[in-house]
């Protein structure tokens, strides 16, 4: 670690140990490396004997996991993480929660911080080491009002123990207007205000280090110092641009292929006449190259857009196998097509392993808002495809005694069954939310009547086995507000 990022990390550690302020806010535009710094910082603090890393929470819109974008999960997660490493805190937390049987974890954000952190931490007043909590990418949480509440609670946090909060986010309006932007009481560092020469040198070092780490055994060098400098210049201060390029270039196994990919990127970016940000140029390049090895075929581009629309819109983490079943495709065929998108999409190793997601939130923003018209995705496209996919999966997989129960008189097992496929769980949990996300949900009336209504009892059986009966009632209420369900189906 060299350059600006190491300087920022050292500044964090110095602040944690010596500054009386309890909040450090790292602000920066999309793609400037905030999360990379937060990850590195957590590693440094974990290894520092003079610091207690209480816990970290990395918010994300790209993980396809609702928990990662839910503000109400942040404080309970931090409390649980610290309880695992501090017996004194854990005992005090248990005593705090016992009268309410843990209900504090389900309360509004404004009522969580007291019983889950503030009061239990008081027992560590004699602890000489600072206790640090890291919350990354605050701007990626879904409910701005709840986020404002959390930031007020953190700003008003008082405790006899030496507690520090390190927060990172883009400088969004609702965050700029919160108490954490008060530089008189909080430490603030704006990444995008750091000198361009320092950031450029950081990116050059990052590119060189990554190339060095991915040498091919027994091969000659396939890039030059001038190539590294050219990529650095094209990055224009954005780490995410550099990492996207590297993911594309290194997604090959031979010297010739890597050299060709590198040359192609440099030529495409240099010759681009489109007035876009460099990152947008790179995203467009990756997408068009993924659609065809030689040129952009409209049919292939349409398939690529549909797959990306589903990944960007999915409401929980999917596997390649589950997405393939929702799309009505073969898993190995889908995986082969996704491989060309590895510069922008994380693909799990196993076909049945969840974790399919885009690598950075800026890619979703680009696809929904700034992409060229032949590439751009309407926000409703993913909802439409997944709503129909959910219906198809339920039509195929829901049947009499889907739970394999020996008798309806026996209670459900205390552990969740493992024989429900991820695609079926996704379809049962989320079909109605995708329908509600459509501009004209009534267009799916016929599909719902034909597919879901005859199987509603089987669907309820799955929801019951997965302890989601209360959720199913709420889903049916949403469904009746969006499509015409016959009374007999309810």
Three-class SS of 128-144:
CCCEEEEEECHHHCCCH
Q: Indicate the CATH number for domain 3-193.
A: 3.40.50.300
Whole-number pLDDT of residue 411: 64
Stretches where the chain sits below pLDDT 70 are 1-7, 62-65, 100-106, 192-193, 195, 218-220, 270-277, 291-298, 407-418, 486-490
From 323, 278, 307, 324, select the one nearest 375 (Cα to Cα). 307
Phi, psi of 366 (to 5 degrees): -65, -50
End-to-end Cα, the chain, rounded Å: 60
Whole-number pLDDT of residue 193: 65
Cβ atoms 207, 242 nearer than 8 A = yes
Whole-number pLDDT of residue 408: 64
Cβ atoms 109, 71 nearer than 8 A = yes
Whole-number pLDDT of residue 272: 52
Q: Indicate the CATH number for domain 289-377.
A: 1.10.10
Whole-number pLDDT of residue 456: 94
Q: What CA–CA distance (Å, rounded) separates 250 from 290?
A: 15
Whole-number pLDDT of residue 378: 93
| Residue 30 DSSP code | T
Whole-number pLDDT of residue 185: 82
pTM value surpassing 0.85: no
Phi, psi of 332 (to 5 degrees): -70, -30
Domain boundaries, the chain: 3-193, 195-271, 289-377, 381-489
Q: Rounded to a whole number, what is the largest CA-CA distance in the chain?
A: 74
């Amino acid at each position: 670690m060299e350059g600006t990022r190491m300087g920022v990390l050292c500044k964090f550690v110095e602040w944690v140990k010596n500054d009386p302020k309890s909040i450090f806010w790292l602000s920066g535009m999309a793609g400037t490396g905030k999360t990379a710094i937060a990850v590195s910082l957590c590693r440094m603090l974990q290894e520092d004997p003079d610091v207690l890393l209480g816990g970290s929470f990395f918010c994300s819109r790209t993980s396809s996991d609702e928990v990662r974008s839910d503000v109400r999960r942040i404080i309970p997660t931090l409390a649980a993480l610290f309880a695992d490493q501090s017996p004194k805190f854990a005992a005090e937390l248990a005593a705090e929660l016992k009268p309410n049987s843990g209900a504090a974890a389900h309360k509004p954000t404004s009522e969580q911080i007291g019983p889950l952190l503030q009061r239990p931490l008081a027992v560590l007043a004699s602890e000489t080491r600072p206790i640090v909590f890291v919350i990354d990418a605050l701007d990626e949480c879904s409910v701005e009002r709840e986020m404002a509440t959390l930031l007020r609670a953190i700003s008003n946090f008082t405790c006899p123990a030496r507690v520090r909060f390190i927060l990172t986010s883009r400088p969004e309006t609702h965050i700029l207007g919160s108490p954490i932007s008060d530089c008189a009481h909080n430490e603030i560092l704006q990444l995008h205000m750091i000198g361009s020469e320092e950031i450029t040198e950081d990116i050059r070092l990052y590119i060189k280090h990554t190339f060095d780490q991915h040498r091919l055994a027994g091969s000659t060098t396939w890039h030059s110092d001038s190539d590294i400098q050219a990529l650095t210049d094209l990055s224009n201060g954005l780490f995410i641009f550099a990492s996207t390029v590297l993911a594309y270039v290194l997604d090959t196994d031979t010297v010739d292929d890597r050299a060709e990919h590198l040359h192609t990127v440099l030529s495409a970016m240099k010759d681009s006449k489109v007035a876009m940000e460099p990152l947008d140029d790179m995203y467009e390049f990756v997408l068009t190259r993924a659609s065809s090895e030689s040129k952009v075929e409209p049919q292939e581009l349409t398939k690529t857009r549909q797959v990306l629309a589903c990944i960007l819109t999915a409401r929980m983490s999917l596997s390649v196998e589950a997405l393939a079943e929702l799309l009505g495709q073969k898993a190995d065929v889908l995986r082969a097509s996704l491989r060309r998108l590895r510069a922008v999409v994380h693909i799990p190793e196993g076909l049945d392993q969840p974790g399919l997601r885009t690598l950075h939130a800026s890619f979703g923003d680009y696809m929904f808002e700034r992409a060229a018209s032949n590439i751009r995705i309407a926000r409703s496209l993913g909802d439409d495809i997944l709503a129909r996919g959910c219906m198809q999966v339920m039509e195929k997989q829901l049947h009499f005694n889907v739970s394999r129960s020996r008798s309806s008189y026996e209670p459900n097992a205390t552990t969740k069954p493992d024989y429900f496929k991820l695609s079926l769980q996704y379809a049962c949990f989320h079909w109605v939310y995708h329908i509600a996300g459509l501009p004209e949900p009534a267009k799916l009336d016929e599909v719902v009547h034909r597919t879901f209504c005859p199987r509603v009892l089987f669907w309820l059986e799955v929801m019951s086995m997965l302890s989601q009966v209360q959720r199913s009632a709420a889903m049916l209420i949403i469904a009746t507000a969006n499509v015409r369900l016959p009374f007999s189906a309810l």
